[in-house]
């Protein structure tokens, strides 16, 4: 059985699960020196708060859930 690949693009929003999670928006997708892809994200309630994490972490259902557009 083939797994459906989920695409992460700029503008998508994700909820960080767990205490102090918050809502995060993808502002850019970048590759590091080894070719691994990362998402640069900003916190929705504090746009000056940024984080960069591997796309695999963002796709982990135990860490994040995508907020669907209305």
CA distances 22 to 42, 51, 70, Å, are: 10, 12, 18
Domain locations in the chain as residue ranges = 13-67
Task: Report if pTM > 0.85.
Answer: no
- Candidates 54, 24, 51; CA nearest to 40 is 51
Give me the pLDDT at residue 10, please: 95
Asked if the model's pLDDT at residue 48 lies above 70, the reply is yes
Give me the pLDDT at residue 70, please: 52
Q: Locate tokens 């000056």: which residue? A: 48
Give the CATH class of 13-67. mainly beta
- Work out whether strand 23-31 and strand 46-54 pair parallel, antiparallel, or are unpaired: unpaired
pLDDT tens digits for 25-37? 999 999 999 999 9
């Amino acid at each position: 059985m083939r797994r459906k690949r989920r695409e992460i693009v700029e503008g998508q929003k994700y909820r960080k699960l767990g205490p102090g999670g918050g809502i995060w928006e993808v502002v850019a997708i970048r590759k590091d020196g080894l070719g691994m892809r990362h998402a640069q994200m900003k916190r929705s309630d504090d746009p000056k708060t940024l984080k960069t994490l591997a796309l695999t972490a963002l796709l982990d259902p135990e860490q994040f859930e995508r907020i669907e557009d209305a």
